[in-house]
Amino acid sequence: MTAQHALLECLPAGLRAEAEQHAQRIHLSAGDVVFRAGDGCRGLPMVISGSVRVQMLGASGHGIVLYRMGPDDLCTLSIGCLMAGRGYRAEAHVEEPTEALLMPRQAFDRLMAQSAEFRQQIMASYGRRLDDLMLLVEEIAFGRLDQRLLEWLKAHANGRPALITHQELAVELGTAREVVSRLLKDFERHGRVRLARGRVELLQSQEVD
Amino acid sequence: MTAQHALLECLPAGLRAEAEQHAQRIHLSAGDVVFRAGDGCRGLPMVISGSVRVQMLGASGHGIVLYRMGPDDLCTLSIGCLMAGRGYRAEAHVEEPTEALLMPRQAFDRLMAQSAEFRQQIMASYGRRLDDLMLLVEEIAFGRLDQRLLEWLKAHANGRPALITHQELAVELGTAREVVSRLLKDFERHGRVRLARGRVELLQSQEVD
DNA sequence: GGTGCTCAGTGATAAAGTCACATTCAACCG
DNA sequence: CGGTTGAATGTGACTTTATCACTGAGCACC
């Protein structure tokens, strides 16, 4: 049996079969762009496995990462686009090979109509996304960049060096590449990280805090 | 007949009567605090008239305005809190005398179950809120403060001087009071505004752009 | 071994945030 | 009416971020 999305697991058998029948299974490779700003929305993407990064492009050409979607997440942004019939404001990049279901509008509407459990999950997902964005607003508005950078490195260092360029880190934090370069250089001078081209290694002593 | 919320207007008569019966009508005065960070959620507030400001408090004690609710809006944040059963992360301040309905969880669930139109509106409302926050993120991360300040003044000057302190403006923009004071002083020196205690008047020549 | 990338480092300068304190205004009291 | 008080505003000094304009380093591919 094929891996499935948690959101469908809690549906009664009949509805679930119907949902699976109408959903289109899609496979995405790292680097693929799922949608860009302005694109129309063709259904609700539900991530089964993998990782997709959602980011925005500012007028100045700079970008900022808004959030990520992982297994059993769904693309909350798409629901808004579906309902309002307007295009996306952000863009989604596949980071790891990803499997997803694309649920067409009509099937989504039917599920919303017929399953309280489904409705509950959709609303909860929306709530989490709002929370994510509110926390992001707080960080950007009031957080110090050196702290945010260190925290990013801690969160993404699973004992291994992060394979990422300064430019990409800048987009993660919504700042400029030069700023990241300078901060990292400072960290290095203080023995907090080890740097190489396309690689940032948080030193052991820094991982606990 | 009493003024009603647009969201209920589009319900079939039976459902609507039921909704109105279960909803609690509340009257709020300017200055009231509807909820604070950490408070539990007791239902979905639906604004009929007036204006409520939703803002967040950063660790540093600074705040930032996330968005406003006006007639026929609803408090999207509350839905997430209801569904996840956790407290608010933000706080809501009444700006103008406001009339609202408080729809209890159960009544909300019933409406969601029984009206496609209602579901559609709720999801659209969520979509708008996500959009608001995304635009805010972009502004904070990439916008220039002098531009944001001028735009705020333009947006809130209906030909009349804005009655607001520098401190309050700082919260609107998510910055520090001193920064606002300095920018405004600059604007004044360049003849773009006229300042008085608790009052900022955008001069005619500036209102078009 | 050169050539052409992308990636990283850095100086100079401007914008924004922080801290500490001075000044001004308006309301209220006696 | 003058004096007192508290909020609102002004400002200097300094730090942190952002921007601009380059320079230098590492790596792949001929």
8 Å CB contact of B119 and A138:
no
Whether B78 contacts chain A with CB within 8 A: no
A174 in Cβ contact with A64 (< 8 Å):
yes
3-state secondary structure of B174: coil
B139 in Cβ contact with A106 (< 8 Å):
no
Mean pLDDT for B5-33 is 94
| Number of residues assigned to chain A | 209
Contacts of B49 (CB under 8 A, 6+ apart): B3, B71, B98, B99
When pLDDT is cut at 50, 70 and 90, the band that residue A58 belongs to is confident
**pLDDT tens figures, A123-179:** 999 999 999 999 999 999 999 999 999 999 999 988 899 999 999 999 999 999 999
Amino acid at B99: E
Mean pLDDT for A18-45 is 95
* Distance in Å, residue A184 CA to nucleotide D24 C1': 18
- Alpha-carbon distance B73 to B50, whole Å? 10
Strand partners, A44: A103
Average pLDDT value for chain B: 94
Out of A62, A80, A137, the one facing B126 most closely (by C-beta) is A80
In the numeric block, which tokens belong to residue B205?
């020549």
**pLDDT tens figures, B96-153:** 999 999 999 999 999 999 999 999 999 999 999 999 999 999 999 999 999 999 999 9
Query: Which contacts (CB < 8 Å, 24+ apart) does range A153-162 have?
Result: A153/A193, A153/A200, A153/A202, A153/A206, A154/A202, A154/A206, A154/A207, A154/A209, A157/A201, A157/A202, A157/A207, A161/A194, A161/A196, A161/A199, A161/A200, A161/A201, A161/A202, A162/A199, A162/A200, A162/A201, A162/A202
Contacts of A60 (CB under 8 A, 6+ apart): B142
Q: What was the pLDDT predicted at B7?
A: 94
Contacts of B197 (CB under 8 A, 6+ apart): none
Backbone angles phi, psi at B133, to 5 degrees: -70, -35
Whether B179 contacts chain A with CB within 8 A: no
8 Å CB contact of B112 and A133:
no
Whether A196 contacts chain B with CB within 8 A: no
8 Å CB contact of A80 and B136:
no
Whether B111 contacts chain A with CB within 8 A: no
8 Å CB contact of B140 and A141:
yes
Residue percentage of chain A with pLDDT more than 90:
89
Contacts of A102 (CB under 8 A, 6+ apart): A23, A24, A25, A26, A42, A43, A44, A45, A46
**pLDDT tens figures, A80-132:** 999 888 899 999 999 999 999 999 999 999 999 999 999 999 999 999 999 99
Q: How many CB atoms lie within 10 A of CB A58?
A: 15
Q: What was the pLDDT predicted at B159?
A: 87
Strand partners, A199: A196
B132 in Cβ contact with B76 (< 8 Å):
no
* Distance in Å, residue B168 CA to nucleotide C18 C1': 18
